[in-house]
Structure 1
Amino acid sequence: MRRSFLTWLLVLTTTVLVAACCGSVACECNDTYADAVGLQFSLANSQDSLRGFFPSYIDTVYLVRNPRDTTQRPRADTVALTRSRAVVFTQPIIINNATPFGLVTGRKLNAYRYTLYLAKRRRATPTYTYKLDSIQLSTRYQGDGCCTCYQNSSKKVFVTNQKGVSQQFDLTDTGGNNELKTITMERF
């Protein structure tokens, strides 16, 4: 049965109106750091120079990513992060789904283990090692009218520091704004 011209006109008008409504709405999701983990180095001071780092120690940082499921490929990825000494304490190292490593086969950062180490060269003996053993994420999509945003509801990070001590950090933004929370690393 053929539809009347009026029916087709009504369907077309409704489609255009709905598309125009959602097309004119700017979505500000603020989900850049929803899954991100920030690592911040503590600054050495004159009272306790053993706990903190000097800028010359941390201008080059190596980060190794290994899949948690060892049967998967790729094996290990390594990236060298070189920063100027002026920003090593003001800008944290950010590990996210696609930063500093590329997004591989849709796996998020919780599918990997990470090791951060300090050394003069890539294959030299590390002077400092910090391991992110496990990252647990709980996320969901939150819709509001025409906008659908990514929302992190839980972010827990399990680490092993230089001394071999295991710790757990809850980096969940309790305000629900997906802001970056950092872990402060101490030398000793």
Structure 2
Amino acid sequence: MLRTSFSWLLLPLLAFVVAACCGSVACDDRERNADTLFFKFAPSVTPQEISTVYIVRTFTPNPNTVPAPTSLTPVRDTARLISNPISPSTNDTLSIGNNTPFVATANRKLNAYTYEIYTLNPADTTGKTKALSFTVDNILLEGGFNDEDGCCTYYKNTKKIIDLDNGDVPIVGLNLTSKGTERRYATLQP
């Protein structure tokens, strides 16, 4: 009887010790950019060409989903990114994540959309208003949860593949899967 009572008292004490250990560990936000797609403009692109960049995301409902969507009209959102004149060295990169530059909608991840990245050319008199234009589609994301330190569980991306089309030479199956904290960039080459 004494052994049973002792076991019941030891169990909550053990749980408290383990909780105190995990409670003292700060969980950082490693998963915040796990699925994020990173892009870098080619060195041949001038800062003037990318002073304002537009990103359009398009969601096209699948008619075969259950329940069927009320509308099959594609839904488009546009984000306008303006360069920072104080720090021009950081203006040649951009990222598309689950929550940036667009707000997450209906629990969809970024792979539910296609994206168009473009800049305007207002000085062109030939009627071509887009100076640079890129399409990102067929985004394949895979990942899972990883318990790295025993107390915090993190989402870890294990596959990040896209198709990138600049109109001239489309790149199919571009692998942007990162290892550790590195970032792999897709080059936006005009």
Partner of residue 156, structure 1: 161
Is the 2:57–2:116 contact (alpha carbons within 8 Å) kept by the matching residues of 1? Answer: yes
Offset at residue 119 of structure 1 (A)? 1.1
Aligned counterpart for 1:183 among listed residues 173, 177, 186: 186
1:168–1:88 distance in 2 versus 1, CA, 3 Å: farther
Matched residues in 2 for 1:39 and 1:157: separation? Answer: 12
| RMSD of aligned alpha carbons | 2.7
Gaps of 5+ in 2: 64-68, 123-127
Q: Secondary structure of the equivalent of 1:131? A: strand
TM-score normalised by the chain length of structure 2: 0.77
Matches within 5 A, 1:34-53: 34-43=34-43, 52-53=44-45
1:19–1:149 distance in 2 versus 1, CA, 3 Å: same
1:172–1:166 distance in 2 versus 1, CA, 3 Å: closer
Matched residues in 1 for 2:25 and 2:170: separation? Answer: 49
2:33 paired with 1:33: yes
- Tell me which of the two structures has the higher relative contact order, counting C-alpha pairs closer than 8 angstroms and 6 or more residues apart: 1
Q: Secondary structure of the equivalent of 1:159? A: strand
- Per-residue CA deviation, residues 91-116 of structure 1 (Å, 9 max, x unaligned), is 51011110110111221111110000
Matches within 5 A, 1:16-165: 16-28=16-28, 30-43=30-43, 52-69=44-61, 75-85=75-85, 87-91=87-91, 92-119=93-120, 125-144=129-148, 145-163=150-168, 165=170
- Per-residue CA deviation, residues 46-75 of structure 1 (Å, 9 max, x unaligned), is xxxxxx211111010000001143566881
Identity %: 33
